[in-house]
Amino acid sequence: MEQTVTFPDGRSVCKLGQGTYKMGISAARRDDEMRALRHGIELGLSVIDTAEMYGNEEFVGEAIRGVRDKVFIVSKVLPCNADYTGTKRACERSLRRLGVERIDLYLLHWIGRHPFAETVRALAELRNEGKIGMWGMSNLDVADMEHIISLPQGRECSTDQVLYNLESRGVEYDMLPWCSRHNMPVMAYSPVGEGRLSCNQTLERIAKRHKATPAQIALAWTMRNPGIIAIPKAGSISHVNDNYNSLTVTLNDEDLAHIDAAFPPPRKKIPLAGW
């Protein structure tokens, strides 16, 4: 399995990243979560995904201190802040909280009331100013992505981050092919279904054949095709190691057939799940 994904600007990252939703919030878990993030970075899991909504950008900033050159930071602007001026101000706040001079990839978190044109204009300017490396979208369906790329500078859009796992395969019908045609990587959040897939019997049977865990099978499945970056969350070093080992799992045709039987692929358009 190819280990990296390349963005339109030529930058390559490991196709397994690290999500941080709800991390750094609990004082009781904070130290373990900090160690987990840093361990993942040392393993080469360079993509660290956060957002202003998560309320943990300071925590992420602390975790990457001293290893900034090893990290690909992703953050997001809340839709309520995503008018032209609000997007630029939100980015400045995120930069301060993260303690960095540039966010590698900055996303609109989901659709809000502000016109896409205002958000895209601000994102393009932030990129030109060097405050972000790339920009993209999150939780946008095909029709909205078509709108984005039709805007001035809209073809700079570098990704769409969406809910994608075995329980939520709707994006396979049209979103994944659309992104592939436009040379646009997809970021898959909740790739293990917030842990639910780690108890699935079909995945347990496949995992035994691979000397793996059901969660590793779910992750390997999500990353099986080119252009997909999975961003599972892991709050402990052992969990990070388990996720990392999914990179060595290669599913065969028999495995994929059993998975399709248990989790049928979409046969029609399904509205985008997520936020």
Cα 107 from Cα 158, distance rounded (Å): 9
The answer to whether 147 is a known ligand-binding residue is no
Q: Which residue has the tokens 């499945």?
A: 221
Residues 6+ apart with CB under 8 A from 196: 167
- Alpha carbon 235 to chain centroid distance? 17
Cα 212 from Cα 101, distance rounded (Å): 40
Cα 137 from Cα 145, distance rounded (Å): 8
- Alpha carbon 259 to chain centroid distance? 23
Torsion of CA 257, 262, 265, 266, to 10 degrees: 160
Q: Interior CA angle at 228 toward 222 and 234, to 5°?
A: 60
The residues annotated as belonging to the active site are 54
Residues pairing with 186 in the sheet: 160, 228
Cα 270 from Cα 188, distance rounded (Å): 17
Going from the C-alpha of 90 to that of each of 2, 57, 59, 85, the distances in angstroms are 35, 12, 17, 9
Q: Which residue has the tokens 């900034």?
A: 68
- On whether the CB atoms of residues 92 and 126 are closer than 8 A, the answer is no
Task: Name the binding residues for substrate.
Answer: 109
